[in-house]
Amino acid sequence: MSDKELGEEAQVGLRGQGAVVEMMGRLKETITNLNKTTALYSKIIIFLTIGIGILAVLQLIATIKSI
């Protein structure tokens, strides 16, 4: 069943409980948005980690050459 069908089914089963069904829908939307944001931040952290690693290797090379 799709989310919409499940929501309609829940609303029928929870007559007078429309607020609960609405809150569950909002919660699902919020979790989805948080997952997207987390994925974006994870990519940024990976990019920054690679950049710091490259800088560390360059520093190591410069140190070895100066010895």
Higher pLDDT, 1 or 32: 32
The answer, yes or no, to whether residue 2 has pLDDT greater than 80, is no
Q: Global pTM?
A: 0.58
What does the domain layout of the chain look like in residue ranges? Answer: 3-66
Residue 43 burial class via C-beta count within 10 angstroms: exposed 0-12, middle 13-18, buried 19 and up: exposed
What is the model's pLDDT at position 9?
73
What the block records as the tokens of 58 is 């360059």
Torsion angle defined by CA atoms of residues 53, 57, 58 and 62, in that order, rounded to the nearest 10 degrees = 150
Does residue 14 contact residue 20 with C-beta atoms inside 8 Å? yes
Q: H or E stretch including 5?
A: helix 3-13
| pLDDT tens per residue across span 6-45 | 777 776 766 656 667 777 888 889 999 999 999 999 999 9
What is the model's pLDDT at position 5?
77
What is the model's pLDDT at position 49?
98
